[in-house]
Chains A and B, each alone.
Chain A
Amino acid sequence: MDEIALIVAAKKGELRAFNQLVLQYQGMAYNLAYRVLGDSDAAADVTQDSFVKAFKSLRQYRGGSFKAWVLRIVTNTCYDYLRAKQRRPSSSLDDLAEDPDRAEELTHHGEGPEEYVMRRELSVTIQTGIALLPADQRIALVLSDVEGMSYQEIAEVTESELGTVKSRLSRARAKLRDYLQARPELLPARYRLNDSRMGS
């Protein structure tokens, strides 16, 4: 069944059809929650809660991008989680130091152990830098650079204006750049920002 048929069936109350949609979007939802919250357990809880909310509010879906609609629920659930838990960047850094061991990253095909370790260290550093950003800038950065969404899609998910999206994203990137440039020892020599060879 295509996505539209699954959505129609799910709106009628067919749980099986909705679970097909869950399997299709759960990876994207989980990664978004993980990058925003910086914690695998929190990301799992938020992802599960988001899909439950999505099923209960299917009547409110009036068409358009179903992907954006699901990610909007995940984003709002992340906001609710952050407000409820009152997580601070300093505390998140301690959690992040251990999180890479718990979180399982997808391995690249043909990647050696040394490269894997280096990649993991870079991930931790970047994740730490992202965790220091304000929630709205963090979400804009993850939606753009992690999920690969366009400015318009980001505006639809965050329910904000296009100019606001541009502003938040530019600030997030600038802050992350400044964070990484201030800690070049944390970056592998290959990934040091000042290295012109990194330019794409």
Chain B
Amino acid sequence: MFKWTRRDSNRQSHIASELLSAYIDNEVTAQERKEVAAHLATCASCREDLQSLRNAVVLVRALPRMAVPRAFTLTEAMVGAQPRRARSPWIVTYLRGATVVAAMMLVVLVGGDLFLRSAPQTPQMIALQSPAAERISEQPLEKVVQETVVVASSAAPEEARAAESEQPAAALAAVPEATQPVQQKAVRKAVSEPEKATERTVVEKPENAETASPIPAPVTEIPRGGGSPGGVGGIGGAGGPGGGEGGGSDEGGGTGFSPGEPVPTEAPPQPDETRPAESAKETVTIADSSAKPAQPVEATPAVKEKTVEKVITPTPQIEKAVVATPEPTAPAVAPSETPAEVALAQGEQTSESVATHPVVQPKQTQSAAPQPFAWQTPLRVAEISLGVLIALLLAATWIAARRP
């Protein structure tokens, strides 16, 4: 049966008009053509339909061609500037995109410029930018150093004082890392002072050891609670006569340790004099161990931090020792300390603090006032450059769009 069929009232199958129309135009497959031809041979109705359709097609195809009333050619007035559009617009597109990007960059620069200029300088920012802030933050450390100096000057003999002047340089040299906090140096120096006194009174140490490091004494030789704990002991010793010397005895209560507190003597594994730095830390560790268990011998960052902490934020023991010493160190120093030595200690401290000071923000600007505006000039130059670039891009875009 055909694909397109219709049934009459007698339910007889006939070829559909669509198939007959396609058959007229030969728009049927070979199989369909064969089947239609076979059916037409047996069906008069389909033959009449085919014929009537074919006649209609013939009549339509016979319609005459109409002559054009006029020429439909175009003029410039009809299309205006449209012919120019036929040109490839990719150049114009890229130029426009570049102009937009440059404009956005200019907006960002101008906005950033205005924002930075209008942003208020916070007090912390101003303070941090000024050298005075460093001196203020360094003050507690300076106190420690000064007090250490006081102790050393009051107890140490002339040689100790002379050595003290040399020690800062040696101490600095002995420090392996240049970035070690100043507090550590101060602590070591403070430790070295009473230790020297102790050494001279108790143990004979070679000079080279001292030269190598300001902290030559091994832990075992350092008296308990003595001035061993760096500046702590020194501080404590400062409260009493010959605190440094007294550190050799248990009476070095000036250390500030509460009686009865265990001060475990951490015997370092090596009493090597060539490793005075470690011994110094050990001493510091001992002093600190009053509240804590034994610290590792090696100069671990934790120990360093504690050392720094003790100087920066004095522990209660230290505070007591500090309190024992009058706040104004000058008067305490004055009677027994020469102004030159105090100034020397302060200068050293200052130089060290200038070099490295973890508490104080690193000195970013030497002159605070002009720093925030140092970027104005290059920013202005960038803004002007972008403005010129935008103008050039606009001109190029206009020219590219206009030219044929």
B83 close to A (CB within 8 Å): yes
A86 close to B (CB within 8 Å): no
- Tell me the residues in window 55-80 of chain B with beta carbons closer than 8 Å to chain A beta carbons: 55-76, 78-79
Complex: chain A residue closest to B84, CB-CB? A13
A117 close to B (CB within 8 Å): no
- Tell me the residues in window 1-26 of chain A with beta carbons closer than 8 Å to chain B beta carbons: 10-15, 18-19, 22-23, 26
Contacting pair B22 A35 (CB below 8 A): no
Contacting pair B87 A56 (CB below 8 A): no
B29–chain A nearest beta-carbon distance, Å? 13
- Tell me the residues in window 128-148 of chain A with beta carbons closer than 8 Å to chain B beta carbons: 130, 141, 144-146, 148
* Bound: A58/B21 CA distance, A: 36
**Candidates B22, B60, B84, B404; contact of A126 at CB < 8 Å:** B60
B85 close to A (CB within 8 Å): yes
Main secondary structure of the interface of B (DSSP, over half): helix
Complex: chain B residue closest to A196, CB-CB? B51
Contacting pair A173 B74 (CB below 8 A): no
Contacting pair B72 A26 (CB below 8 A): yes
* Bound: A199/B47 CA distance, A: 11
Contacting pair B72 A200 (CB below 8 A): no
**Which residues of chain A are within 8 angstroms of B17 by Cβ–Cβ distance?**
170-171, 173-174
B92–chain A nearest beta-carbon distance, Å? 14
A135–chain B nearest beta-carbon distance, Å? 17
Contacting pair A173 B57 (CB below 8 A): yes
B84–chain A nearest beta-carbon distance, Å? 6
Contacting pair A19 B60 (CB below 8 A): no
**Candidates A13, A40, A191; contact of B69 at CB < 8 Å:** A40
* Bound: A128/B41 CA distance, A: 34
* Bound: A199/B55 CA distance, A: 6
Contacting pair B27 A151 (CB below 8 A): yes
Total chain B interface residues with beta-carbon distance under 8 A: 42
**Which residues of chain B are within 8 angstroms of A11 by Cβ–Cβ distance?**
86
* Bound: A86/B372 CA distance, A: 75
- Tell me the residues in window 104-138 of chain A with beta carbons closer than 8 Å to chain B beta carbons: 104-106, 108, 119, 122-123, 126-127, 130
Instruction: Kindly supply a per-residue 1/0 record for chain A positions 149-190, scoring 1 wherever the CB is within 8 Å of any chain B CB and 0 otherwise.
Output: 011000000000000001101110110110011000000000
Contacting pair B51 A199 (CB below 8 A): yes
* A166-B73 in contact given A35-B63, A103-B66, A123-B64 (Cβ < 8 Å): no
**Candidates B54, B57, B61, B82; contact of A55 at CB < 8 Å:** B82
Complex: chain A residue closest to B87, CB-CB? A13
* Bound: A176/B64 CA distance, A: 17
* Bound: A103/B66 CA distance, A: 7
Contacting pair B63 A123 (CB below 8 A): yes
**Which residues of chain A are within 8 angstroms of B20 by Cβ–Cβ distance?**
170
Complex: chain A residue closest to B89, CB-CB? A59
Contacting pair A19 B21 (CB below 8 A): no
B204 close to A (CB within 8 Å): no
* Bound: A110/B344 CA distance, A: 133
**Which residues of chain A are within 8 angstroms of B85 by Cβ–Cβ distance?**
13, 56, 59
**Which residues of chain B are within 8 angstroms of A123 by Cβ–Cβ distance?**
63-64
Contacting pair B56 A193 (CB below 8 A): yes
**Candidates A51, A150, A151, A176; contact of B56 at CB < 8 Å:** A176
Contacting pair A180 B56 (CB below 8 A): yes
B54–chain A nearest beta-carbon distance, Å? 6
B44–chain A nearest beta-carbon distance, Å? 13
**Which residues of chain B are within 8 angstroms of A13 by Cβ–Cβ distance?**
82-87, 404
A48 close to B (CB within 8 Å): yes
**Which residues of chain B are within 8 angstroms of A26 by Cβ–Cβ distance?**
68, 71-72
**Which residues of chain A are within 8 angstroms of B55 by Cβ–Cβ distance?**
177, 193, 198-200
Among B52, B54, B59, B82, the one with the most A-chain Cβ atoms within 10 Å of its Cβ is: B59
Contacting pair B54 A44 (CB below 8 A): no
B18 close to A (CB within 8 Å): yes
**Which residues of chain B are within 8 angstroms of A55 by Cβ–Cβ distance?**
74, 79, 82-83
Contacting pair B52 A181 (CB below 8 A): yes
A74–chain B nearest beta-carbon distance, Å? 11
Complex: chain B residue closest to A169, CB-CB? B21
Instruction: Kindly supply a per-residue 1/0 record for chain A positions 71-111, scoring 1 wherever the CB is within 8 Å of any chain B CB and 0 otherwise.
Output: 00000000000000000000000000000000111101000
B25 close to A (CB within 8 Å): yes
Contacting pair A166 B74 (CB below 8 A): no
B391 close to A (CB within 8 Å): no
- Tell me the residues in window 213-271 of chain B with beta carbons closer than 8 Å to chain A beta carbons: none
* Bound: A130/B18 CA distance, A: 18
B384 close to A (CB within 8 Å): no
B334 close to A (CB within 8 Å): no
Complex: chain B residue closest to A16, CB-CB? B73
A80–chain B nearest beta-carbon distance, Å? 17
A157–chain B nearest beta-carbon distance, Å? 16
Contacting pair A23 B71 (CB below 8 A): yes
Contacting pair B79 A52 (CB below 8 A): yes
B395 close to A (CB within 8 Å): no
B33–chain A nearest beta-carbon distance, Å? 15
* Bound: A51/B79 CA distance, A: 10
Contacting pair A191 B67 (CB below 8 A): no
Known interface pairs A52-B79, A166-B18; 10 further A-B residue pairs with C-beta atoms within 8 A, sorted by A's residue number:
A10-B86, A15-B74, A22-B73, A30-B66, A105-B65, A106-B66, A130-B60, A150-B27, A180-B56, A199-B55
Supply 13 A–B pairs (Cβ within 8 Å), ascending by A.
Answer: A12-B87, A13-B404, A15-B79, A19-B73, A22-B71, A43-B66, A44-B69, A48-B72, A55-B83, A126-B63, A150-B27, A173-B17, A193-B52
Q: What 7 A-B pairs are tightest by C-beta distance, nearest first?
A: A13-B83, A13-B86, A170-B21, A145-B60, A170-B18, A19-B73, A177-B56
